[in-house]
């Protein structure tokens, strides 16, 4: 594989999905336009996609720097918020925080439902195990009783 082919493969893997970019652009433009559907040239969609990719790279690099300054290796949401402020996009921090909180609330319900299901499954397994152990101990008791019944009487 030549160097040019390698660069093309890397560029394609870094590209944002065109259908998602198209949907985002068209949805936003339809909200803003009073005239209805707005046409967007393929070239413009490519420009939106590339601009978004560059923005994500820039934001992630800035968030990474903030993370490293804090002597951590994992970027968290606060690092992203600080990075947005640092690159002078602070007007996005409020809406992003709200969106993140909503996401967390939705997932908290899923997690608690999931953890409840796991707990129920765990309890069920424990009951099954204790029932098996209980029946085994009852069986052992029966066997020991049988041995006693077979023992000669010393009366």
What tens-digit pLDDT sequence spans the chain (155 residues)?
777 766 665 556 678 899 999 999 988 888 888 877 778 899 999 999 999 999 999 999 999 999 999 999 999 999 999 999 999 999 999 999 999 999 999 998 776 666 666 666 777 666 665 555 554 444 444 444 444 444 455 44
Q: For residues 38 and 26, what is the distance between their CA atoms, to the nearest angstrom?
A: 7
Q: How many angstroms separate the CA atoms of 18 and 125, rounded? A: 48
- Tell me how crowded residue 24 is: count the other CB atoms within 10 A of its CB: 15
Identify the CATH class of 1-88. mainly alpha
Q: Which residues contact 63 (CB under 8 A, 6 or more apart)?
A: 75, 79, 80, 82, 83
Q: Are 66 and 79 in contact (CB under 8 A)?
A: yes
Q: Which two structure tokens, joined as six digits, stand for 84?
A: 């947005």
Domain ranges, ordered by start, for the chain:
1-88, 95-138
Q: Whose CA is closest to 60, among 47, 46, 76?
A: 76
- The H or E element containing residue 16 is none
């Amino acid at each position: 594989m030549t160097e040019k082919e390698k660069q093309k493969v890397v560029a394609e893997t870094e590209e944002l999905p065109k259908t998602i970019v198209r949907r985002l652009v068209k949805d936003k433009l339809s909200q803003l336009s009073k005239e209805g559907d707005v046409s967007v040239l393929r070239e413009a969609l490519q420009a939106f996609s590339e601009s978004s990719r560059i923005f994500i790279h820039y934001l992630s690099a800035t968030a990474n720097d903030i993370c490293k300054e804090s002597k951590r290796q994992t970027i968290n949401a606060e690092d992203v918020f600080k990075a947005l402020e640092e690159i002078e996009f602070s007007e996005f921090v409020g809406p992003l925080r709200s969106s993140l909180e909503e996401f967390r609330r939705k997932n908290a319900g899923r997690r608690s439902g999931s953890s409840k299901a796991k707990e129920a499954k765990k309890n069920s397994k424990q009951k099954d195990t204790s029932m098996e152990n209980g029946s085994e101990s009852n069986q052992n008791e029966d066997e020991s009783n049988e041995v006693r019944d077979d023992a000669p009487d010393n009366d």
